[in-house]
């Protein structure tokens, strides 16, 4: 398969929407990035349409076509009949004039090739005596059968698609012509690349529109009608059947659109109970007018059908029918490389995801897979990771946070903006002598605590950190932190019980006071003794001084 649908890695945001909408789950997730698995992809383009980040991109061949135009060879456009649904009010002549301004030699309708193909289908039913015939116009359906339903390859009509039949016819008529298909389909790029030498390049309607805008070319609003244009019905559901004679050899004719419906039909055929059926299959709901690269990027099924119907005629194009051998197209089985894991491997992965019994398998689809078992198989094949299971991650995160909340020594209480208790842990219940969380959950916090600090934090938006508070009703001292989380609109209170610390501190203060009192008494007593000694010493010294003074005076007199 050619690499025509790619991923812009920087844009992938892990939403798993592409997996959810991929009908064959051909997307691998690794390193938080989606990767398209080429040998499993059927190029239906669903991932391109649904990606909210525009992470999927289609390879643009505009520059390649410009090189063709510069080569001097005639470059002819095969324009898909769905163009009338994409370009409102614009007919084939108007498109021809616009595209010739870009340098194209001519513009023709792919519906001419559709006439050739439908005529070959009719011949096949009349002459080949086939049991079941599945149309081969839609390359995505062809890939679906080649990759996922190889047993039904025998029923796939071995006929070129209208694009190929038309481009082959162009090259027959115009020597050295280069052919460029323009349409609403991603898969046509792969078909053109795989079956070389028929279609030289493929542009989407969007690529063509961007090119015309860059050259300031706008197709005129002008419709033209041709009664020989019944095959213009091809891009609608049942469009092939509308152009065919449906009375050949007792066949049942039916049209099926959408990959899921096509898969269901192919499984029905596998059962062996279906016979004598001509089945028109389209991967896109609404067929080609519902294609992934219709420029509008939204479903307008009625409006688009009416645009095609009003442009379609009653008769076939007047075109020479090639020999059947010239329209032959071979389809081979395309092997998918990923092997089916064993039951033991699947069960081991399910256990890793926390799925131990069928009741654990929620099959919620948030990972993109339809069931937990399907997801487990994808993990075994290296296409998915256990972390993609959102319920598993949620449970794991909740379990981890619950473990922290339950085992932290600090009391934790969570309130909503109405100051109602939303969560309370065991440590907080112990502080406030609450028997069970159910006794207070949903109740106003005023029932158990003074709400003033919570009200203040909520109104001001400023947190309170390590505020020492005495809870008189519980005879507890706590160091509390209160935080308002604006994102979750919750008020979180964290309380550290410091009652024992306060008791120890008060005990130490009491001992210190007693020690100081004793010291004061000792000092006072010592001072009194000192004073008494000093007093006695003072009297003796005075008497001695008097005696010595008298002795001195007596000696002096002599």
The mean pLDDT of 37-55, rounded to a whole number, is 88
| Residue 30 in this model has a pLDDT that exceeds 80 | no
Question: Three-state DSSP class for 355?
Answer: coil
Q: What is the rounded average pLDDT for all residues in the chain?
A: 88
As a whole number of angstroms, the distance between CA 376 and CA 148 comes to 20
The CA–CA distances, whole Å, from 99 to 106, 201, 206, 253 equal 8, 15, 14, 38
Express each pLDDT in 250-285 by its tens digit: 899 999 999 999 999 999 999 998 999 999 999 999
Q: Which residues of 381-414 are buried (b: 16+ CB within 10 A; e: fewer)?
A: bebbbbebbebbbeeeeeeeeeeebeeeebbbbb
Q: Where are the domains of the chain?
A: 60-327, 338-407, 408-497, 511-547
| Residue 2 in this model has a pLDDT that exceeds 70 | no
* DSSP alpha helix (H) spans, 353-446: 372-380, 390-407, 426-431
As a whole number of angstroms, the distance between CA 158 and CA 193 comes to 18
| Residue 547 in this model has a pLDDT that exceeds 60 | no
Express each pLDDT in 445-501 by its tens digit: 999 999 999 999 999 989 999 999 999 989 899 999 999 998 888 999 999 999 888
Give the model's pLDDT for residue 373.
Answer: 86
Contact present, 414 and 422 (Cβ < 8 Å): yes
Express each pLDDT in 412-423 by its tens digit: 999 999 999 999
Give the model's pLDDT for residue 64.
Answer: 96
Give the model's pLDDT for residue 550.
Answer: 64
Q: Say yes or no: domain 338-407 is CATH 3.40.630.
A: no
Contact present, 6 and 34 (Cβ < 8 Å): no
Express each pLDDT in 216-260 by its tens digit: 999 999 888 788 888 999 999 999 999 998 777 789 999 999 999
At 538, list the tokens: 């003072």
As a whole number of angstroms, the distance between CA 287 and CA 82 comes to 10
Least confident of 182-196, 299-313, 455-469, 524-538: 524-538
The mean pLDDT of 167-194, rounded to a whole number, is 96
As a whole number of angstroms, the distance between CA 406 and CA 395 comes to 16
| Residue 297 in this model has a pLDDT that exceeds 90 | no
Give the model's pLDDT for residue 395.
Answer: 66
Give the model's pLDDT for residue 15.
Answer: 82
As a whole number of angstroms, the distance between CA 54 and CA 303 comes to 26
| Confidence class for position 200, pLDDT limits 50, 70, 90 | very high
Give the model's pLDDT for residue 365.
Answer: 72
As a whole number of angstroms, the distance between CA 43 and CA 37 comes to 11
The percent of residues above 70 in pLDDT, for the chain, comes to 92
Express each pLDDT in 490-528 by its tens digit: 999 999 999 888 888 878 888 878 887 877 787 778 778
| Residue 8 in this model has a pLDDT that exceeds 80 | no
As a whole number of angstroms, the distance between CA 9 and CA 43 comes to 19
As a whole number of angstroms, the distance between CA 124 and CA 6 comes to 38
Give the model's pLDDT for residue 315.
Answer: 87
| Residue 68 in this model has a pLDDT that exceeds 90 | yes
Give the model's pLDDT for residue 540.
Answer: 64
| Confidence class for position 400, pLDDT limits 50, 70, 90 | low
Express each pLDDT in 384-395 by its tens digit: 877 777 766 666
Find the farthest-apart pair of alpha carbons in the chain and give their distance in angstroms, rounded.
178
Q: What is the CATH number of domain 408-497?
A: 3.30.450.20
Give the model's pLDDT for residue 429.
Answer: 92
DSSP assignments along 504-524, one per residue: HHHHHHHHHHHHHHHHHHHHH
Express each pLDDT in 332-359 by its tens digit: 999 877 778 888 888 888 888 778 888 7
The percent of residues above 90 in pLDDT, for the chain, comes to 56
């Amino acid at each position: 398969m050619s690499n025509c649908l790619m991923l812009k890695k920087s844009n992938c945001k892990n939403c798993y929407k592409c997996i959810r909408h991929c009908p064959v789950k051909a997307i691998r997730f690794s390193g938080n990035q989606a990767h398209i698995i080429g040998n499993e992809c059927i190029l239906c383009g669903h991932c391109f349409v649904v990606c909210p980040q525009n992470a999927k991109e289609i390879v643009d061949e505009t520059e390649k076509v410009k090189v063709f135009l510069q080569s001097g060879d005639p470059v002819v456009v095969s324009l898909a009949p769905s163009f009338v649904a994409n370009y409102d009010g614009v007919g084939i002549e108007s498109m021809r004039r616009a595209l010739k301004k870009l340098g194209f030699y001519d513009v023709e309708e792919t519906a001419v090739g559709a006439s050739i193909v439908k005529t070959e289908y009719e011949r096949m039913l009349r002459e080949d005596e086939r049991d079941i015939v599945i149309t081969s116009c839609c390359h995505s359906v062809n890939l679906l059968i080649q990759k996922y339903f190889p047993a039904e390859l025998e029923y796939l009509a071995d006929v070129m698609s209208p694009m190929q039949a038309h481009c082959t016819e162009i090259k027959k008529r115009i020597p050295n012509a280069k052919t460029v298909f323009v349409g609403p389909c991603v898969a046509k790029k792969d078909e053109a690349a795989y079956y070389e030498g028929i279609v030289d390049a493929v542009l989407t309607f969007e690529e063509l529109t961007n090119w015309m805008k860059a050259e300031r070319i706008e197709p005129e609003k002008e419709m033209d009608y041709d009664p020989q244009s019944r095959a213009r019905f091809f891009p609608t559901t049942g469009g092939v059947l509308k152009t065919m004679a449906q009375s050949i050899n007792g066949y049942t004719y039916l049209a099926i659109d959408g990959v899921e419906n096509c898969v269901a039909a192919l499984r029905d055929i596998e059962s062996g109970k279906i016979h004598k059926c001509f089945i028109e299959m389209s991967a896109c709901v609404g067929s080609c007018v519902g294609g992934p690269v219709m420029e509008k990027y939204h479903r307008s099924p009625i409006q688009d059908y009416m645009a095609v119907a009003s442009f379609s005629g009653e008769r076939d194009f007047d075109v020479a029918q090639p020999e059947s051998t010239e329209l032959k197209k071979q389809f081979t089985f395309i092997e998918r490389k990923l092997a089916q894991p064993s039951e033991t491997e699947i069960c081991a992965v399910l256990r890793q995801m926390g799925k131990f019994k069928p009741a654990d398998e929620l099959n919620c689809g948030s990972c993109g897979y339809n069931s937990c078992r399907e997801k487990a198989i994808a993990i075994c094949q290296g296409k998915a990771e256990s972390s993609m299971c959102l319920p598993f991650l949620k449970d794991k995160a909740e379990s981890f946070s619950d473990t922290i909340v339950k085992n932290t020594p600090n009391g934790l209480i969570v309130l909503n903006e109405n100051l109602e208790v939303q969560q309370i842990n065991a440590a907080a219940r112990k502080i406030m002598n609450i028997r069970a969380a159910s006794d207070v959950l949903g109740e106003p916090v005023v029932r158990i605590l003074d709400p003033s600090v919570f009200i203040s934090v909520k109104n001001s938006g400023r947190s309170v950190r390590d505020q020492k508070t005495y809870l008189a009703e519980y005879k507890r001292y706590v160091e509390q932190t209160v935080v308002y989380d604006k994102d979750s609109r919750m008020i979180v209170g964290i309380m550290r019980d410091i009652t024992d610390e306060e008791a120890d501190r008060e005990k130490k203060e009491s001992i210190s006071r007693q020690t100081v009192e004793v010291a004061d008494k000792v000092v006072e007593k010592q001072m009194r003794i000192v004073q008494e000694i000093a007093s006695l010493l003072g009297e003796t010294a005075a008497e001695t001084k008097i005696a010595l003074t008298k002795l001195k005076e007596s000696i002096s007199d002599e």
